[in-house]
Amino acid sequence: MRPNRLRQIWAEGGVAYGCWLSIPSSFSAEVLAHQGFDWICVDTQHGVIDYQTSVTMLQAVSATETVPLVRVPWNEPGIIMKSLDAGAYGVIVPMVSSRAEAEAAAAACRYPPRGIRSFGPTRAAYYAGRDYARHADDEVLCIVMIETAEALANLDEILSVPGVDAAYIGPSDLSLALGLPPRPDHDDERFVEAKRRIVEACRRHGVVPGIHANAALAAKHAADGFRFILISSDVAALAAGAAGDLAAAAPGRRDPGAQPAYR
């Protein structure tokens, strides 16, 4: 089976930097996957991407060494299994707030007896190799999102679940849970302390800490102990590039009330 490079990076103590895809396009997925990111995530939760399009995007990423991930819409076993069968090398599962929810996510990612995943790697076997069934449980990643007040209260219970490989902070939802406006980062002590607690809990349980971020925040997060960091996205890169071109060609033409793309 094709090895999961993220596991190799983490085993060597490195940081894996990634890109986020929200636009339903296999070509834009291909272009971004060729830029050299360690991982790329097809977002089927908040991105405007359906299942069929996500498959074509995973196929496009397959032409590169970038590790393909999918953020599923919800912690539902059927869509987790279907995303893995399509060739995702890991799933990012939103709103995991309890041990039971973490157990459900991990079980959907592994075949019996370790889990409940049904066998049928329809596309995955072509991408990963014909020995997929023998190695998938050890290569595929179960990444749970920590982004609610309940999850903060249950950190040790969630992160001690066998099969949970990484914990990924959704900073906007975490901000809301802490009574703060939804933003990629805050200096507010409540937010800073929540991030610190998550990193420390990950270290206790041998889980990789990750965070949804951007390039400007990457060095700060890496210094704080995060080893799975988002640094770019198709939407933000497209908007920033186009706005930059317009500003260079026609200064002052851009609407001063325009808002930057969501990250």
pLDDT digits (tens, 9 = 90+) for 7-44: 999 999 999 999 999 999 999 999 999 999 999 999 99
How far apart CA 69 and CA 166 sit, in angstroms, is: 13
Residue-averaged pLDDT of the chain: 96
Q: Determine which one of 34, 46, 186, 205 is catalytic.
A: 46
| 41 closest CA partner among 80, 69, 17 | 69
Confidence bin at 252 (pLDDT 50/70/90): confident
Q: What is the pLDDT of residues 126-183, one digit of tens each?
A: 999 999 999 999 999 999 999 999 999 999 999 999 999 999 999 999 999 999 999 9
* pLDDT given for residue 253 in this prediction: 78
- Per DSSP, 118 falls in state P
Q: Which amino acid is at 199?
A: V
Residue 93 in this model has a pLDDT that exceeds 70: yes
Residue 185 in this model has a pLDDT that exceeds 50: yes
Residue 232 in this model has a pLDDT that exceeds 70: yes
Max Cα–Cα distance, the chain, nearest Å: 62
Active site annotation includes 186 = no
Tokens for 256, please give them.
């001063």
Decide: 228 and 198 in contact? Cβ < 8 Å: no
Residue 262 in this model has a pLDDT that exceeds 60: no
